[in-house]
Amino acid sequence: MESYFVSDYDPTIEDSYTKICTVDGVPARLDILDTAGQEEFGAMREQYMRAGHGFLLVFAINDRQSFNEVGKLFTQILRVKDRDDFPIVLVGNKADLETQRQVPRSEASAFGASHHVAYFEASAKLRLNVDEAFEQLVRAVRKYQEQELPPSPPSAPRKKDGGCPCVLL
């Protein structure tokens, strides 16, 4: 995850990034895999879903089809994970293109609320809510892991390892 905007984004099958950040005072290592929405690579997508600890589902607010795809991805993630819920954050990107909006904010918010996931509108170009979306996902992953893992015995000392590694897709 870089801190600059690429105006001529060339989607590939995948691109990966690693970012070390601190969320709520606790370090986290984010291993981010940008699958660029490659629908034709379904088998690879399910493999990524099995490995992921959390997901940012990103659509463009000026592209109705990308929003429709988010619903399919959400369902597929829960099916692959065999869960009723999982750490997911919905992101409406390209908030700087408000005049070209095809997906009403209210519709995206309603999707997030009905699926119990946070919703952010972001602009990679303006660096609006990009970090906030990732931070919210880290919080969701941590909360999920706390609920899923049994508590450690009180006598076992906790090892400081620099935070939990998270694989985000």
pLDDT value of residue 157: 54
In sign, the C-alpha dihedral spanning 22, 33, 99, 117 is negative
User: pLDDT-based confidence at 148, cuts 50/70/90?
Assistant: confident
The mean-pLDDT minimum among 11-15, 57-61, 113-117 falls in 11-15
> What's the half-sphere exposure (Cβ side, CA atoms, 13 Å) at 34?
13
pTM of the model: 0.81
Q: Is the pLDDT of residue 5 over 50?
A: no
Cα 150 off chain centre by? 25
Tens of pLDDT, residues 40-78: 667 788 888 999 999 999 999 999 999 999 999 999 999
- Report the mean per-residue pLDDT for the chain: 86
Other beta carbons less than 10 A from residue 1's beta carbon: 14
Tens of pLDDT, residues 73-95: 999 999 999 999 999 999 999 99
Tens of pLDDT, residues 151-166: 666 655 555 555 656 6
